[in-house]
Amino acid sequence: MCGRFVTTRPTDEIAQMFDAGPANDMPDVPDYNVCPTDPVAVVVAGRKLVSMRWGFIPSWYKTPTDGPLLINARAETIAEKPAFREACRARRCLIPATGFYEWTKDADGNRLPWYIAPEDGPLTFAGVWQVWERGDARHVTCAIVTTAANQAMSAIHHRMPVTLSPDQWALWLGEEGKGAARLMTAAPEDRFAFHRVSPAVNSNRALGAGLIEPL
């Protein structure tokens, strides 16, 4: 899965990288501890850069907390799950990031955080998005697509986010027709480097660049 991530690129740099027009309400950066329900930068079809709530709200929820917080969508079932199947067909998005965190446990059950980032090139998560509305309440929400971890990552976690290279962005957004399903695979074995970081990041209130420094 992907439960926390890092984003450090300025909005104008992201907009230039994706050739996207940015909205006016973009999240503050850098953010070394992006948590579920936080606003995140998202690129949608039409190459628009917008802010969305990380945590997908299905259309049938009566309130934003009416059911589980859906921060991830499994690639293996996304096309069939009622919560995601329409979004998978019509509302795919790109979620820029710098790196992400995962956790292992020691013999005493303590959570040990790891920081994972690409060896080179931009990091872009495959995502899906949804507008949820009830009365005057309106939330534009997203989830990160995940898949089974590759062998290198499986030492830390059995799942990993689906990441897309620049030559795959257009297909995922639907700009190059059909075929996005074939992109929902694990990254190559040598795509990421990872290292242990301070348990400080176990708190969703932790801030600062020190969170990604090697322990």
Active-site option among 2, 88, 93, 142: 2
Element (H or E) spanning 73, and its range?
A: strand 72-74
Task: Check if 102 is active-site.
Answer: yes
Q: Which of 35, 102, 189, 213 is catalytic?
A: 102
Beta-carbon count within 10 A of 106 CB: 8
Tokens describing residue 137:
């309440």
Dihedral (CA of 51, 57, 63, 66) sign: negative
**10, burial (CB in 10 Å: exposed 0-12, middle 13-18, buried 19+):** exposed
C-alpha to C-alpha distance for 179 and 160, rounded to whole angstroms: 21
The reply to whether 88 belongs to the active site is: no
b/e map of 151-183 (b: 16 or more CB within 10 Å)? ebbeebbebbbbbbeeebbbbbbbeeeeebeeb
The position carrying tokens 């009622």 is 82
Question: Where in the sequence numbering do the catalytic residues fall?
Answer: 2, 102
